[in-house]
A and B are shown apart, each in its own frame.
Chain A
Amino acid sequence: MNNTNPKGALSGLRIADFSWVGAGPRATKDLADNGAIVVKIESRRRLDLGRLSPPFKDGKRHPDGSAFFAQTNTGKLGVTINLGDPRGVELAKKLIVWADVVVENFSKGYLDRLGLSFAVMRALNPRVILVSVSVAGRSGPLSAMRGYGNSAAALSGQAALAGQPHQAPHMPPFAYGDVVAPLFATVAVLAALEQRRKTGVGQHIDVSQVESLMHTLAGTFARLQAGAGLEELRGNRSVVASPHNVFPCRGPDQWCAIAAETDAQFAALCQAMRQPGLAHDPRFATLAARKANETDLEALIAAWTRGQDKHLLGQALRALGIPAAPVQDGREVFTDPNLILAGHYQRINHAVLGACDMPAPPMQFSRSAIEVGPPPCLGEHNALVFGEWLGIDAAELERLAAEGVLA
């Protein structure tokens, strides 16, 4: 792509980011990578849990040394405010006046108790857009619920659908709700900006992790209402393709995903297996037949894949037009040329982490720039933001710091 315009698509946009951990910060990371000025508001009194999350530089816990925090907060500026002090709340109000967009994921009612309800924000700044991210949303009977990504997986039906058929619900070792909801929050910010250009006023948008997850399961909800059973929609198999699973390959815990979405792809797979007759075998000749005999079919394919290199197998099958790919681990993803050549990882220089690679948004513009900058150290930009931008003089800032307002 030819980036003739060095500016990000959101150049000049101002964001006051009160969010923490994952569900809000991932959204504001994307906005920062696209040129927005994001001021992350934190407190030393209660650190963003991301700052406490491994991996750490040299394995030593340090609030500015978490790579997990870094990749979730690239390109942001960092300030510290003690919102438990009324003078801290006044500082927050100044940032709300400064901002185009405010993002938060506090417990329900927390901002209201501080005197920072959306009504107050709007009185201070009629153009401000507030985006709230929570598990169940800010309205409705479950809105007071406190929880994490696991609650979102549970309430959305995702956990019950995950896992193998006829086994207990499954939750993978990462919070997928903390991934999907921030994407919806980013959409919310951008759609509200587009609307503000027409109306001149902001609005309060309420993003629920559960609703975001359910949105990505629309096809599954449709199938279940049309008569499909829950168990047939679990695991790796598909109701519209067979085979559709992972198959063992050479080496411990090595697998290759293989799918035949058409009879032609299945015939090509049979050719690759040097068993072309299988394509005409009444047990496997049609999708319905393959679904009825799927366990037998998978055993035949597994007997063929076992002992083969997963990368070469995937490559050979794709060359025949068959969707196939190795199951990659963290090392293979980090070193994948498909990602490196695409600029998926961008180099940052950070005071504590040093020079390291951070993931960029998954897109390339012909004009707009994407720039992944270092994450902020705790309170790194207090002087810049409070002093230079908000006009608080140095003596006052020193006093506020000494009295714990900037903690």
Chain B
Amino acid sequence: MLEHVRVLELTSGLGDYSGRILAQLGARVTKVMPPGADRSSLDWLAVNHGKQLRELALGTPVGDAALLEMLHDADILLLGVPPLPGALGADFSARFPALIVVELAAFAKQSPMAGEPVNDLALMALSGIMNIVGEPDGPPLKLPGDQAYALAGIQGVIAALLALNDRASSGQGQRVRVSAYQSAVLAGYRDPIVWEWTGRLGRRTGNRLVRGQSGVRQVWACKDGYVTWSMVDNPGLMKGTVALMAREGAAGVLAGVDWEHTLVADLPQTQIDAWEAPVEAFLLAHTTTELVAMAAEVPIGLSVIATPAMARVEPHWAERGFWRQVHDPVRGLDLQLPGPLFVVQS
């Protein structure tokens, strides 16, 4: 989609994922690295494959001249912090008026913490998300992977493409700064507004999805693994679930529920607990295979909780062309890594 777009990437860590996504969209992405920079880690490979690599000693006349030469051909410059050394750190706007500079940083320039050392864990801690992830009696937990960096990386692509859209009509480039902290805060979409409007603080609720005063369970053990199912405000899915349970005489108190006129979000926790009890027994009595087969027959909103290994061999994703083989020269492995961001339906 972006085969005509040229991207120069001067990032290390934060922002690498922006270039990875742009490369996946077809852009020609050149990553500039210091000579001898370490690129042996799997994390590095996962967010840098598909890019051209160019080693340049920035801050030396030769390196700076080479970078300037490359900038003449670039549409988008992805910039990490700290800023570029010497003359290259000056404002690009006069020299390259059509260039789009996307600066990826932990914080906005106006933030008191701008420039302070933080990593993905620290950003997730600040974001409010860790406060609600984990068990009620356990410590706050981060989400798997480096999600603050991932979110900022995607927002970096959005910023670049927004500026590209503007340039198409104005002819002018511009500079945009993306905050990884703000990117992570946006992901925790409920707690700040709940505080703003109710003065209530979110807390860790284990596996309960909280809406309003109460929460519904999301993770259930079955005979041979785990599945997800939740009591949600979707009468079709709820009626389907009860119908399947009723077949086996397992609907219990759920048999009489009028789902069309019930708002689960308004129910007290004790009511939800009582209604979830027969579901727990029903799911425990079946294997994941049985439950998935039932869910294929009658939509009930149930899915098996797959390990990453299970997800990787699930035929559905292969059929959609999701995985790409990427060679890891350090370990001599061919890895299957996420490829296309989405499917273009013909």
Residue B248 at the chain A interface, CB threshold 8 Å: no
Residue B81 at the chain A interface, CB threshold 8 Å: no
Interface hits, A111-128 → B, CB 8 Å:
118
In the complex the two chains form, is B158's CB within 8 Å of A327's CB?
A: no
Query: With a CB–CB cut-off of 8 A, which chain B residues contact A150?
Result: 209, 218, 228-230, 303
Residue A275 at the chain B interface, CB threshold 8 Å: no
Query: With a CB–CB cut-off of 8 A, which chain B residues contact A203?
Result: 344-345
In the complex the two chains form, is A154's CB within 8 Å of B227's CB?
A: yes
Query: With a CB–CB cut-off of 8 A, which chain A residues contact B340?
Result: 211
Query: With a CB–CB cut-off of 8 A, which chain B residues contact A132?
Result: 345
In the complex the two chains form, is A138's CB within 8 Å of B345's CB?
A: yes
Residue A346 at the chain B interface, CB threshold 8 Å: no
In the complex the two chains form, is B303's CB within 8 Å of A154's CB?
A: yes
In the complex the two chains form, is B307's CB within 8 Å of A157's CB?
A: yes
Residue B290 at the chain A interface, CB threshold 8 Å: no
In the complex the two chains form, is A368's CB within 8 Å of B166's CB?
A: yes
**16 additional contacts, CB 8 Å, given A159-B226, A183-B151, A205-B344?**
A132-B345, A147-B303, A150-B230, A153-B228, A176-B147, A179-B189, A188-B342, A203-B345, A211-B317, A217-B144, A219-B43, A220-B144, A226-B333, A236-B141, A246-B140, A259-B122
In the complex the two chains form, is A211's CB within 8 Å of B320's CB?
A: yes
How far, in angstroms, from A248 to B139 measured CA to CA in the complex? 8
Given A54-B211, A174-B209, A220-B144, are A328 and B219 also a contact pair (CB < 8 Å)?
no
| B336 touches which of A59, A118, A216, A225 (Cβ 8 Å) | A225
In the complex the two chains form, is B142's CB within 8 Å of A236's CB?
A: yes
In the complex the two chains form, is B122's CB within 8 Å of A155's CB?
A: no
How far, in angstroms, from A168 to B319 measured CA to CA in the complex? 30
In the complex the two chains form, is B176's CB within 8 Å of A365's CB?
A: yes
Mask, B119-136, CB within 8 Å of A = 1, is 101111111111111110
Query: With a CB–CB cut-off of 8 A, which chain B residues contact A73?
Result: none
In the complex the two chains form, is B139's CB within 8 Å of A259's CB?
A: no
Closest 4 CB pairs of A and B: A330-B191, A362-B182, A342-B108, A157-B308
Residue A45 at the chain B interface, CB threshold 8 Å: no
Nearest chain B CB to A274's CB is how many angstroms away? 21
A-binding segment of B65-73, B196-204, B249-257, B276-284: B196-204
In the complex the two chains form, is A175's CB within 8 Å of B209's CB?
A: yes
B-binding segment of A82-90, A279-287, A318-326, A394-402: A318-326
Given A55-B194, A218-B47, A329-B131, are A323 and B121 also a contact pair (CB < 8 Å)?
yes
Nearest chain A CB to B120's CB is how many angstroms away? 9
Mask, A140-177, CB within 8 Å of B = 1, is 11110111101101111111111110001111111110
In the complex the two chains form, is B25's CB within 8 Å of A191's CB?
A: yes
Given A155-B306, A240-B41, A341-B111, are A55 and B207 also a contact pair (CB < 8 Å)?
no
Q: Which residues of A line the B interface, CB within 8 A? A: 1, 5, 7, 9-10, 13, 22, 26, 30, 34, 49, 52-57, 59, 61, 67-68, 71-72, 118, 132, 136-143, 145-148, 150-151, 153-164, 168-176, 179-180, 183-184, 186-188, 190-195, 197-198, 203-208, 210-212, 214-226, 230, 233-236, 238, 240-241, 244-246, 248, 253, 255-257, 259, 261, 314, 318, 321-334, 336-339, 341-344, 356-357, 359, 361-368
How far, in angstroms, from A26 to B189 measured CA to CA in the complex? 10
In the complex the two chains form, is A194's CB within 8 Å of B158's CB?
A: no
In the complex the two chains form, is B299's CB within 8 Å of A146's CB?
A: yes
Mask, B257-301, CB within 8 Å of A = 1, is 000000101100000000000000000000000000001000101
Query: With a CB–CB cut-off of 8 A, which chain B residues contact A137?
Result: 316, 320, 343
In the complex the two chains form, is A205's CB within 8 Å of B345's CB?
A: yes
Residue B53 at the chain A interface, CB threshold 8 Å: no
Residue B12 at the chain A interface, CB threshold 8 Å: no
User: Most chain-B CB neighbours within 10 Å: which of A153, A175, A233?
Assistant: A153
Query: With a CB–CB cut-off of 8 A, which chain B residues contact A34?
Result: 162
In the complex the two chains form, is A204's CB within 8 Å of B344's CB?
A: yes
Query: With a CB–CB cut-off of 8 A, which chain A residues contact B205?
Result: 173
How far, in angstroms, from A344 to B207 measured CA to CA in the complex? 30
In the complex the two chains form, is A327's CB within 8 Å of B125's CB?
A: yes
How far, in angstroms, from A132 to B181 measured CA to CA in the complex? 28
Nearest chain A CB to B171's CB is how many angstroms away? 11
User: Most chain-A CB neighbours within 10 Å: which of B43, B125, B175?
Assistant: B125
In the complex the two chains form, is A368's CB within 8 Å of B162's CB?
A: yes
* A–B complex contacts, Cβ < 8 Å, 8 sampled: A140-B317, A169-B305, A206-B343, A214-B317, A330-B202, A363-B177, A365-B175, A367-B166
Q: Which residue of A lies closest to B212 (CB)?
A: A54
Query: With a CB–CB cut-off of 8 A, which chain A residues contact B144?
Result: 158, 161-162, 217, 220, 233-234
How far, in angstroms, from A336 to B107 measured CA to CA in the complex? 12
